[in-house]
Amino acid sequence: MILAANLKTNHTRQSVRHWLGDVESFMGREEITDTVAVFPPATALTAWCGKVAVGAQNAYPVANGSFTGEIGLDQLDEFGCKTILIGHSERRHVLGESNGLIRRKYDFFKEKGFTVYFCIGEPLAVKEQGFDAVMDYVKEQLVGIDTGYANLILAYEPVWAIGTGLTAEPSDIEKVHGAIKALCDKPLLYGGSVKPANAGAILKTPGVDGLLIGTASWKSNMFCDILSTAKSL
Ligand code: PGA
């Protein structure tokens, strides 16, 4: 399974080091062999040689240049970072990234060989129109994305479930994941208010290959609880 932690705009360089230390020692002690990744804020990127892959939450699709406030490939290379999150709903809906920009990011980092965690998922208004509308929306997000890329990991994250405490029902997750997998046979994570109490049921859902966890990953012990659940299945 694949378990990924999205720290968003939380933690500092120092606290990320503590987080990584906690998670790495837990993984060693409990012999966790799942794939684990963490996306810290850009200021806390770190050259890490442990079991946890340290990835970028975002980067602009250039090596360097005049893009005030952004980081590019050179800044990621400094830390040996080869993993990136692209298309997260907060980048799409809070920061206004278009499918076009997201495609450019995907193409750029794919070409550089990055492992790309690519997020898709519908807002509430689309969910309310039913399953076909959800799938149309998700398909649109995948237009122009090379889903044959070997290092692509997809994450289905319904926007209405992110950071809200609302989680999709396992039966809904199964239905959407089944339809996405019919389009593209890649590892497919679920994300949206995953926590220790619901992680087991979601991980047992057919078509779920792992989790992308926000809020419940910010405390290392909660994230480790979810790693334990994954191991016990
Ligand atoms: P959440 O965030 O677990 O806090 O809902 C998930 C995500 O944004 O990836």
Interval 175-232: pLDDT, tens = 999 999 999 999 999 999 999 999 999 999 999 999 999 999 999 999 999 999 999 9
Spacing, Cα 191 to ligand 1 middle (Å): 6
Asked if residue 192 has its Cβ within 6 Å of ligand 1, the reply is yes
Task: Write out pLDDT tens, residues 122-167.
Answer: 999 999 999 999 999 999 999 999 999 999 999 999 998 888 888 8
pLDDT of 32 reads: 96
Report CA 171 to chain centroid distance, whole Å.
Answer: 21
Give the residue numbers marked as catalytic.
88, 157
Is 87 near ligand 1, meaning CB less than 6 Å away? Answer: no
Q: With contact defined as beta carbons under 8 Å apart, do 57 and 89 qualify? A: no
Q: What ligand 1 atom has the least distance to the C-alpha of 89?
A: 8
Q: What ligand 1 atom has the least distance to the C-alpha of 217?
A: 3
Q: Which residue has the tokens 């995953």?
A: 194
Check pocket membership of 167 for ligand 1, CB cut-off 6 A.
no
At 39, list the tokens. Answer: 């996306």
pLDDT for 130: 94
Q: Whose CA is nearest to atom 1 of ligand 1?
A: 214
Q: What is the pLDDT of residue 168?
A: 85
Distance 88 CA to ligand 1 centre (A): 9
Give 77 Cα–ligand 1 centroid separation in angstroms. 26
Nearest to 146 by CA among 188, 96, 108: 108
pLDDT band for position 38 (cuts 50, 70, 90)? very high
Contact between 212 and 189 (Cβ < 8 Å):
yes
Paired strand residues for 163: none
